[in-house]
Amino acid sequence: MLSIPTFPESRHEILQSLADYSDRELVRLHQLHPEQGKFFATLFYRYSEIVHSVVQHAVEFQAQADYLFALSWRQIFTELQQVQLSSDPDPTNWQNWLIDITGSKIAHTDVPPPAQIRYALHAAPPPLWCYLDRGLDRLSPRSRLIVVMTQNFKWDEQRISAYLQGEGERVPAAEVSTYLAEGYQQLEAELPQDIRAIYQVTQNENSLVSG
């Protein structure tokens, strides 16, 4: 039987301060304040068990369930900016929307075998992963490429330099680490301040990945 993950950071004081907010209030605040991540994170931790319970029925292995779980929440994050909840306070309104999005993601995702999955749920919980992806999209193309090649593919400076040269960019291997440090700094700056606090993110964190 697959297990439902737990997240110690869900007890962070920033998230606990929002415990009495309704789902509708959190959705609305998330839409009004995209520079803050705490509203989405609160929704995630409030409903993570429900979503994980749904994806468990679609796969066989824990790594697959965790990966599909994260993909589902990334889809939820993408669509959340436009969703409109009715004024009905019944929480099933929101829950049904979550389940519908999750079911659609399951139906349209070809989940790879466990050995091919590099994503680690506790290294980058979905709220952090979503905001890291958003931050990566805002980096310069060169910085994004160097960060992703370093973190996702574990390439060293020589290999990154050779790849960039093949793409027409002359970046000596000795300068790759400088561009990498700049990329981390830019990526950290793109993360909402509350997300950095909840996950204790620094530019040297191994969680600075796109998945």
Q: What is the mean pLDDT of each run of 10 residues along the chain (211 residues)?
A: 94 97 93 97 97 96 97 96 71 84 96 94 95 94 92 92 93 94 92 95 51 46
Question: Do 104 and 143 share a domain, yes or no?
Answer: no
Structure confidence at residue 207 (pLDDT): 46
Q: What are phi and psi of 5, to 5 degrees?
A: -70, 155
Q: Within this chain, do residues 100 and 133 fall inside the same structural domain, yes or no?
A: no
Question: Model-level pTM greater than 0.95?
Answer: no
Q: Is 87 found in the same domain as 44?
A: yes
Q: What is residue 206's predicted lDDT score, i.e. its pLDDT?
A: 45
pLDDT, residue 166, reads: 93
CATH number at residue 140: 1.10.10.10
Enclosing domain of residue 172: 126-199
Q: Report the C-alpha gap between 102 and 149 in whole angstroms.
A: 30
Of 116, 151, 185, the domain-final residue: 116
Residue 130 has a pLDDT of 97
Nearest to 150 by CA among 173, 180, 188: 180
Say which residues have a Cβ less than 8 Å from residue 211's Cβ, sequence separation at least 6.
70, 118, 119, 124, 129, 133, 152
Number of domains in the chain: 2
pLDDT for 88 equals 57
